Amino acid sequence: MKKISTLAISTAVALVAAFTVSTAASSAGIVDQPVPLRTAIVTKDGKKKIKIGKKLPVLVSCSKACSFRATVTLIAPAVKEPKSLTGTLIANNILTLNYKLTNFGRSYLRDNVSKSRLKVKFSAKDQATGQRVIKTKSFRFYK
């Protein structure tokens, strides 16, 4: 019993000492690195597949204020059609990219669901530091 309590006390003292050293180093004037820009590309329901409908929605976001260029490409057996969008995003806001389909396009995708996909390329540039992040993600379809 005494060995366990001694071990617990020495562990607690070591943790407090480590925390004190780390706060002393950060308050000593060492410049912290800026937080890196993070981007995300997801579907509305968070799944890896998109339901075929009039619109094919994909959500994109940036962790910091950024300017972006998004290219959404529908890839099917007979079609490879890209559409682009540029603009700016406020930090932690979500932008919905909707790829609109015609009636023929929807029926074509339903017939070729296993051979088709939606590819999203999202290039964001941090407005404060100029750091660039490029992320690409592909989504399959379901009926």
Q: At 83, which CATH number?
A: 2.60.40.2550
Does one domain contain both 43 and 25? Answer: no
Q: Is the pLDDT of residue 14 over 50?
A: no
Q: Which pair of structure tokens corresponds to residue 78?
A: 């007979």
89 & 135 share domain:
yes
Q: Is the pLDDT reported for residue 132 higher than 90? A: yes
Report whether pLDDT(109) > 80. yes
* pLDDT at 24 (0 to 100): 44
- Going by their DSSP bridges, the two strands 49-51 and 132-142 should be labelled as parallel
| pLDDT score, position 88 | 95
Same domain, 9 and 75: no
Per the model's pLDDT, the better-predicted residue between 16 and 142 turns out to be 142
Q: Do 62 and 123 sit in the same domain of this protein?
A: yes
My answer on whether 57 and 112 are in the same domain is: yes
Match 């100029």 to its residue by tokens. 130
85 Cβ neighbours under 8 A, 6+ residues apart: 69, 70, 71, 72, 97
Q: What is the pLDDT of residues 51-84, one digit of tens each?
A: 999 999 999 999 999 999 999 999 999 989 999 9
The answer, as to whether pTM is greater than 0.85, is no
Domain that holds residue 114: 39-142
How many other β-carbons are positioned within 10 Å of the β-carbon of residue 108?
A: 19
Q: Could you give the number of structural domains in the chain?
A: 2
Half-sphere exposure of 30 (CA within 13 A, CB side): 9
